[in-house]
Amino acid sequence: MIAPEFWSIPTDAPSESELARKTATLKQRLLDIDSRFSDVRFATSLAAEDMVITDAIVQSKANIKLFTLATGRLHQETVDMTKTTEKHYGISIAQVYPEESDVQAFIDQYGMNGFYDGEVAKKACCGARKIKPLNAALLGADAWLTGQRREQSTTRVELNLEELDDARGIAKFNPLFDWTEADIWAYIKQEGVPVHPLHLKGYPSIGCEPCTRQVKQGEDIRAGRWWWLQSDSKECGLHVNK
């Protein structure tokens, strides 16, 4: 059982009518995106927000392909969650791996866990294990989705539904941009969405194993990501548009 000092899944919830409205809006957003673009892809981390989107994609039958960034540093629970999700929904989630040569170049320069040395090394590791694979995974796509929400952190307060991903020259959508944490967990409960086991152990946000830890009650929900860095560095670069 999780120690009481750590974050736990919220028990507050929106009204039934509010959740129904947001759910219908989410599905309509996905269908609208599907109708406007020919090749839409979704990068799932298997964490709560991304599971809501996955569930809504399946329920709405929007034609959106799923992939996950298999960085090589994920928790075993995340690896297992991919299989759980595929089985639950009867879908395939493409595994996108980093280039071995890029990973080796990082290790040669910084060491396996060199990202703890600071922002430059962390960016280099995320570049090799996440950004370059993401770029490869999005080749040929004309739009992609993320599970980002405004409420998640100070770096996301200006999120909108639709953005231009300048770096890749394609559209980018944040269909949960206006959802609260309570909305997410109410949806998961209502729809019986599979839950990543680390959410039950004090992790509100889940990334690579060495860069993610539990969060205390009352802390920012992304406080456990790259905790040794300043709060304005708590992004891996996946969502930098310029």
Q: Among all residues, which ones are annotated catalytic?
A: 236
Segment lying near ligand SF4 (by CB under 6 A), choices 1-9, 54-62, 121-129, 213-221: 121-129
46 binds ligand SF4 (CB under 6 A): no
The CA distance from 8 to 106, in Å, is 35
Helix axes 181-191, 48-60, angle to 10 degrees: 50
Quote the CA–CA distance of 100 and 88 in Å, as a whole number.
31
Question: Under 8 Å CB-to-CB from 129, ≥6 apart: which residues?
Answer: 69, 71, 72, 73, 98, 102, 103, 106, 208
Strand partners, 69: 96
State the number of binding residues for ligand SF4 (CB under 6 A).
13
Shortest Cβ distance from residue 121 to ligand SF4 (Å)? 8
At position 56, the amino acid (one-letter code) is A
Under the binding rule (CB under 6 A), the answer on residue 211 touching ligand SF4 is yes
Judged by CB under 6 A, the residue of 141, 208, 215, 223 near ligand SF4 is 208
Residues 67-86, one symbol each (x = binds ligand SF4 by CB under 6 A, - = not), give ----x-x-------------
CB of 106 to ligand SF4, least distance (A): 8
Nearest by Cα to 169 from 142, 197, 193, 208: 142
Q: State in angstroms the smallest separation of the CB of 207 from ligand SF4.
A: 5
Quote the distance between the C-alpha of residue 114 and its chain's center.
23
Q: Is 110 in the site for ligand SF4 (CB under 6 A)?
A: no
Could you list the residues that contact ligand SF4 (CB under 6 A)? 71, 73, 115, 122, 125-126, 129-130, 207-208, 210-211, 236
